[in-house]
Chains A and B, each alone.
Chain A
Amino acid sequence: AQSVSQHNHHVILSEAASLELGCNYSYGGTVNLFWYVQYPGQHLQLLLKYFSGDPLVKGIKGFEAEFIKSKFSFNLRKPSVQWSDTAEYFCALSSGGSYIPTFGRGTSLIVHP
C-alpha cells in the first residue's frame, strides 16, 4: 500500500522568509508525485508534478520541489514567500496503473505581511 506523510501541519512565516514543506512517501515502485495548493476560497489546484526525468521540478509562482528517491521525499520549497502564498498545501502520490491517488493530510501555511 502507498502512503504520504506531511510532517508540518501548520507553518507560520513572515514575508520574505524561505519555505520548505516536507513530504515523504511509502511505495516500492515507480511513483508520480504532486503538490496541490488550495488558496482561501478557491479550488484545489496543481502546483507542480514529477513524473520522470530531472528530479528538480519547477511549478507556478516560484515554487519548486525535489524528488529524492533514496529518501522517499518530495519536499516543496520557495526561497522567499509572499503574503499571497497563504494556503493549504497537499502532497500526493500516484503509482503506475493505479486509479487511486493518495494525498497527505495537508499543511496550512500562513504568511504574515
Chain B
Amino acid sequence: SQTIHQWPATLVQPVGSPLSLECTVEGTSNPNLYWYRQAAGRGLQLLFYSVGIGQISSEVPQNLSASRPQDRQFILSSKKLLLSDSGFYLCAWSPTPAWNEQFFGPGTRLTVL
C-alpha cells in the first residue's frame, strides 16, 4: 500500500533562517505531488505542484521554493524565513491521471519566531 511521510512534524525557526521540509511517498511511482499551507478558516492554499522529476509549478508568489530531486521526493525550502511563513504545511500526492483523489501527509507545524 502507499504511504506518505513528512518531516519534521514540528519546527521552530528564527526569522531569516533557512527552511527545508521533506515529503516522501512509498508504494507508487510517478505520483503528482503537492505542497499546501493550511490556515484556520482559510482552507488549503496550494503552494506548489509537480507532475514529474524536476517539474515544479508555483501557484502563489512566496518566500518559498520547491524541488523534486527524485520521483517520490518533494522538498519545500526557503533561504530566509519570514514571520508570515508560520503555518501548517501539508504534502499530498495523487495518482495519474491528476484529477484523482489526493492523499495527504501528517503535516508540519512551522513556527517562525
Give A residues with C-beta under 8 Å from B: 9, 32, 34, 36, 43-46, 49, 90, 92, 94-101, 103-106
Shortest Cβ distance from A108 into B: residue: B41
| Choice from B43, B46, B90, B101 contacting A34 with Cβ under 8 Å | B101
Interface size class of B (residues with CB under 8 A): 20 to 34
Residues of A within 8 A of B102 (CB): 36, 46, 92, 101
Name the distance in Å between B97's Cβ and chain A's nearest Cβ: 8
Shortest Cβ distance from B49 into A: residue: A99
- State whether A99 touches B32 (Cβ < 8 A): yes
- State whether B46 touches A100 (Cβ < 8 A): yes
Given contacts A9-B41, A90-B44, contact A100 B59 (CB under 8 A): yes
- State whether B101 touches A103 (Cβ < 8 A): no
Residues of B within 8 A of A95 (CB): 99
Compute how far the CA of A97 lies from the CA of B100 in the bound complex, rounded to whole angstroms: 10
Within 8 A of A (CB), among B21-73: 32, 41-44, 46, 49, 51, 57, 59
- State whether A98 touches B98 (Cβ < 8 A): yes
Instruction: Return the CB mask of B97-113 against A: 1 if under 8 Å, else 0.
Output: 11111111111000000
Residues of B within 8 A of A101 (CB): 46, 99, 102
- State whether B101 touches A46 (Cβ < 8 A): yes
